[in-house]
Amino acid sequence: TQLLEQSPQFLSIQEGENLTVYCNSSSVFSSLQWYRQEPGEGPVLLVTVVTGGEVKKLKRLTFQFGDARKDSSLHITAAQPGDTGLYLCAGGRAGNNRKLIWGLGTSLAVNP
Amino acid sequence: DAGVIQSPRHEVTEMGQEVTLRCKPISGHNSLFWYRQTMMRGLELLIYFNNNVPIDDSGMPEDRFSAKMPNASFSTLKIQPSEPRDSAVYFCASSYWGQLNTEAFFGQGTRLTVV
Which pLDDT belongs to residue A3? 80
**Please, are residues B87 and B112 in contact by the beta-carbon 8 Å criterion?**
yes
Which pLDDT belongs to residue B67? 98
Which pLDDT belongs to residue B90? 98
Which pLDDT belongs to residue B102? 72
The partner residue sitting opposite A88, judged by closest CB among B43, B55, B108, is B43
Share of chain A above pLDDT 90, in %: 87
Contacts with A104 from chain B: Cβ below 8 Å: 41-42
Residue A90 has pLDDT above 80, yes or no: yes
Cα–Cα dist A103/A108, whole Å:
15
Which pLDDT belongs to residue B101? 60
Chain B residue nearest residue A107, CA to CA:
B39
Contacts with B108 from chain A: Cβ below 8 Å: 40-42
Contacts with A44 from chain B: Cβ below 8 Å: 106
Q: What is the CA radius of gyration of chain A?
A: 13
b (16+ CB within 10 A) / e for A38-73: eeeebbebbbbbbeeebeeeeeebbbbbbeebbbbb
At position B42, the amino acid (one-letter code) is G
Strand B10-13 and strand B110-114: pairing? parallel
Distance of CA B85 to the CA centre of its chain: 17
Which pLDDT belongs to residue A81? 96
Cα–Cα dist A98/B104, whole Å:
9
Residue A1 has pLDDT above 60, yes or no: no
- pLDDT per residue, tens digit, chain B (115 aa), is 689 999 999 999 999 999 999 999 999 999 999 999 998 899 999 999 999 999 999 999 889 999 999 999 999 999 999 999 999 999 999 998 766 667 889 999 999 999 9
The partner residue sitting opposite B42, judged by closest CB among A42, A50, A104, is A104
The partner residue sitting opposite A105, judged by closest CB among B42, B95, B108, is B42
- Selected residue with higher pLDDT from B97 and A86: A86
Contacts with A105 from chain B: Cβ below 8 Å: 42
The model's pLDDT over B72-96, given as tens digits with 9 standing for 90+, comes to 999 999 999 999 999 999 999 999 8
Average pLDDT, chain A: 93
Average of pLDDT values for A49-73? 95
